[in-house]
Amino acid sequence: MIFLFEINKTIIGFLKLTFFKQKYDVSIVIEAKYRNCGIGSAVLRYFNSKSILPYKLTAKIKKKNIESIKAFKKAGFTKDNIIII
């Protein structure tokens, strides 16, 4: 599943959920000029809510992608659902 998000009718990013083995692998992309504004964390927090999706979300994040790791942690992801690669 792919969810687009927009500001003023302009698409600024997307969130992709891939269902695999009773969980969703999540990835998120945000246009550069909208990063570090809290948008990514807000979108992730929304989808990480147990009332939204029936299965756990997990994220595979590259070790060097510090900003992404911070965004996922800010959204409530823990070591149980963040896989550092």
Per-residue pLDDT at 52: 81
CATH class of 2-84: alpha beta
Read off the tokens for 67: 């900003």
Pair 12, 30: CB distance under 8 Å: yes
Residues 6+ apart with CB under 8 A from 76: 44, 45, 48
pTM of the model: 0.84
Q: 61-68: long-range contacts at Cβ-Cβ below 8 A with a sequence spacing of 24 or more?
A: 61/85, 67/35, 67/36, 68/28, 68/40
Domain ranges of the chain: 2-84
How far is Cα 42 from Cα 33, in angstroms, rounded to an integer?
16
Query: pLDDT digits over 41-62, tens only?
Result: 999 999 888 778 888 899 999 9
Mean pLDDT for the chain overall: 91
